[in-house]
Amino acid sequence: MTALRQTLVDWFSSKADAVSGPLPVRLGGRGSFAANTTPAQVKGFDQPLVWVIVALLLWGLVMVYSASIAMPDNPKFANYAHTHFVVRHASSIAIGFVAALIAFQFPLQTWEKLAPWLFVLALVLLIAVLIPFIGKGVNGARRWITLGIINFQPSELAKFAVLLYAADYMVRKMDVKERFFRAVAPMAVAVAVVGLLLLAEPDMGAFLVIAVIAMGILFLGGVNARMFFLMATLMVLIFAVVIATSEWRRERIFAYLDPWDEKMTLGKGYQLSHSLIAIGRGEVFGVGLGGSVEKLHWLPEAHTDFLLAVIGEEFGLVGLVVVIGAFLWLTRRIMHIGRQAIALDRVFAGLVAQGVGVWMGFQAFINMGVNLGALPTKGLTLPLMSYGGSAILLNLIAIAVVLRVDYENRQLMQGGRA
């Protein structure tokens, strides 16, 4: 018995040393945080997170088909088949799935080394998209680069690149994070350069998301609260100036304030008013899958920016609550994985995961607010669900990196190496 007791003591001691003592982490989705003093028998990745992602992707695929099936009846899309958009969307999901599998194979140390280079690549592509004969313009905006069968949107890569760069930057600047100019100014300059390139496209929505991602990582990384609120105030002032100096952006604000005004309803408030009509028609349980009327050439961009309005019309309040609840759970789960990584003294990995949570949560919040009339109209898609090849590709790569963070967390908590 003495020998057995000593063996057990030695075994537990080796496990505790492997993870540097008890850690305030939680493996499951329930229960409270507790010290992890015993070896955890856990799976290799967060299966509930994966299933929620798959469910959102599949539901989005069905809704893209529903929202776009009547588009070929419009002379503008007369040469397209009724399955054109859903086939392209399914192809984007397939490509994104393969890219996510590849991204999952890279340890977080590799992503940390790649962060500056991905940021430089994003800047080069943001510049290239503004060059005639390289960038492709649609409806007055030049945001895409044609790459054979797909049109790539560099602003989506910029979101991911800024996220990695900001996390890497905070790890490198931990010793000076209390000093404003040494800690914050260089990152602010980087975000400003990206912002200027995005405003030249123009793509203010992507700039807003990138600014929030960068500021969120700086805040979570431990930047002084006074400096953070100073940055937030400065950012609000910048966006206010951008809106005030742009006539069509001012009209969007006026349309948001009174979308039922006759002038606005037929102008900048047209999308918002028809989005509200669609959601109103859905009532509590919806008109049924495929029964939307607003998608029949009344609601512009029904398969992209206003997909949620079609969900509200066809699935009603119940469908909207399910979607909102899924994104709330998704964001919370991703943020939890980031907290686990930081508890394990993996600051870069933790900030990356939490940055993805900020990205997904904030962009979903903006898209939902726009569709519901709670926020001014902004051209941002609903992550994982709306039509868009570049967005789906980068969303899935970002989720794969989060799953890699979780995988390495679990390895460490089992006494292994990340």
- What does the pLDDT read at residue 416? 63
Among 129, 301, 306, which Cα is nearest to 202's?
129
Domain that holds residue 345: 43-109+222-413
Among 61, 79, 27, which Cα is nearest to 411's?
27
Residue 178, in any domain of the structure: no
- What does the pLDDT read at residue 37? 38
- What does the pLDDT read at residue 180? 61
CB atoms within 10 A of CB 251: 16
- What does the pLDDT read at residue 30? 38
- Non-local CB neighbours of 353 within 8 Å, separated by 6+ positions: 334, 335, 337, 338, 341, 401, 402, 405, 406
Tokens in use for 122?
Answer: 């994003």
Q: Residue 382: what are its φ and ψ, rounded to 5°?
A: -85, 115
Residue 167, in any domain of the structure: no
Q: What is the pLDDT along the chain (418 residues), one digit of tens a residue?
A: 444 445 444 543 444 344 333 344 444 433 333 444 334 344 577 899 999 999 999 999 999 999 999 888 877 777 888 898 999 999 999 999 999 999 999 999 999 999 999 999 999 999 999 888 887 777 667 788 887 767 889 999 999 999 999 999 888 876 655 566 666 778 888 888 999 999 888 888 899 999 999 989 988 887 777 777 877 888 888 888 888 887 878 888 888 888 887 777 777 788 889 999 999 999 999 999 999 999 988 888 899 999 999 999 999 999 999 999 999 999 999 999 999 999 999 999 999 999 999 999 999 999 999 999 888 888 789 999 999 889 999 999 999 999 999 999 999 988 766 5
Dihedral (C-alpha) 78, 82, 83, 84: value to the nearest 10 degrees?
Answer: 10
CA 346, CA 336: separation in Å to the nearest integer? 14
Tell me, rounded to whole angstroms, the distance of Cα 283 from its chain centroid: 29
Residue 15, in any domain of the structure: no
Q: What is the DSSP letter of 382?
A: P
For residue 137, the cross-strand partners are 142
Residue 185, in any domain of the structure: no
Residue 282, in any domain of the structure: yes
- What does the pLDDT read at residue 134? 81
Domains contained in the chain, number: 1
8 A C-beta contact, residue 274 and residue 294: yes
8 A C-beta contact, residue 63 and residue 54: no
Q: Which run of H or E residues covers position 257?
A: helix 247-257
Residue 270, in any domain of the structure: yes
- What does the pLDDT read at residue 258? 80
Residue 72, in any domain of the structure: yes
- Non-local CB neighbours of 415 within 8 Å, separated by 6+ positions: 14, 15, 18, 19, 39
- What does the pLDDT read at residue 43? 54
- Non-local CB neighbours of 333 within 8 Å, separated by 6+ positions: 29, 46, 48, 49, 52
Residue 208, in any domain of the structure: no
Handedness of CA 43, 48, 50, 51 (dihedral sign): positive
203, HSE (Cβ side, Cα atoms, 13 Å): 27
- What does the pLDDT read at residue 179? 63
